[in-house]
């Protein structure tokens, strides 16, 4: 685990509303295809997956999930853009497998961090990490 300060991050994104599950992976594939089609997906691209709602308190049909490419603040990209919450994040490197990701979510309650529950946990996918079969989970914390 390491700590990172997020500041001034903008993403061009697609959003899905509905139960979290395999459809989120399809949204990610749709975004990557769109980016490739527009010449925006390359070896330095970083994509974020952001489950915006807590499924323990929000009905499944209202859950929001964003996937987005990190872009310069005023990039001319044919997608909506939004900012990522500034702040300090604890970053965990996880095996990019169903078991690795599931294990992370199952064990998150055992962390001894002061998690900022007003911000979403962010899944980060960079080309160098994916080449090593890794992804990162960025947990907002209170410092």
Instruction: Tell which wins on pLDDT, 101 or 64.
Output: 64
Which token pair is 91? 């970053």
Burial class, 60, CB count within 10 angstroms (exposed 0-12 / middle 13-18 / buried 19+): exposed
Q: How confident is the model at residue 143 (pLDDT cuts 50, 70, 90)?
A: confident
Pick from 101, 21, 97: nearest CA to 65: 21
Q: Which CATH class is domain 2-141?
A: alpha beta
Q: Is the pLDDT of residue 33 over 90?
A: yes
pTM for this prediction = 0.92
* H helix intervals, 6-86: 22-37
């Amino acid at each position: 685990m390491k700590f990172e300060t997020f500041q001034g991050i903008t993403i061009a994104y697609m959003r899905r509303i509905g139960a979290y599950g395999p459809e989120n992976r399809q949204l990610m594939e749709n975004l990557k295809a769109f980016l490739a089609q527009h010449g925006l997906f390359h070896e330095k691209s970083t994509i974020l997956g952001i489950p915006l709602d807590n499924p323990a308190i929000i009905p499944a049909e209202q859950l929001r999930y964003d996937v987005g490419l990190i872009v310069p603040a005023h990039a001319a990209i044919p997608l909506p853009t939004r900012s990522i919450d500034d702040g300090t994040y604890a970053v965990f490197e996880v095996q990019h497998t169903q078991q690795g990701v599931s294990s992370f979510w199952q064990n998150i309650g055992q962390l001894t961090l002061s998690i900022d529950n007003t911000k979403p946990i962010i899944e980060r996918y960079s080309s160098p990490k994916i080449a090593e079969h890794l992804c990162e989970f960025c947990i907002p914390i209170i410092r």
